Structure 1
């Protein structure tokens, strides 16, 4: 079995549309915009009482740190991997949010 290493680009491609839906914006095309939309989406999901909304805040913090001027590729990869774990339930949270609308 092959496992794919998460990158900022793969996370953006996988989750941008769902996050944008909750944030009520167009899908992000940059990591900085994605981080901002995750923070907005976390607030909206929390306001709707959806469990796990705080995971988006944690993912946003990790990706924001990874997007900063890090020169340590190992630390950057570790932060992105952590963000991927926090984003793992995003689709389920967004599906729940859609059902509430």
Structure 2
């Protein structure tokens, strides 16, 4: 059984709605917009005292690296790391929603 490779679009699709809520924008449709919203969301999480804001900021940096590399092995590893760092975003967004 083969497993489909994780893509930047998968990561965007998975977290765009929650990140857009925190960043007060529309859900991102592309990786560039999404990484920008991650930076804004990280700042808002920090201001609200939501734990994990550093992971969101780091994920934005990693996703920019993914967009700038042609090395497929590096892309795969970086995407996996970004997805891992973002795994708590739904819970973080829920916590943020209760504070706002």
State the shift of 1:5 in Å: 4.2
Query: What are the residue-to-residue correspondences of 1:1-101 with 2, within 5 Å?
Result: 5-68=5-68, 70-101=69-100
State the shift of 1:6 in Å: 2.6
d(CA) in 2 for partners of 1:72, 1:90: 27
d(CA) in 1 for partners of 2:4, 2:98: 31
State the shift of 1:96 in Å: 0.1
TM-score, normalising length from structure 2? 0.94
Number of aligned residue pairs: 100
Structure 1, gaps ≥5 residues long: none
Q: What is the root-mean-square deviation in Å for CA atoms of aligned residues?
A: 1.5
State the shift of 1:7 in Å: 1.7
TM-score, normalising length from structure 1? 0.93
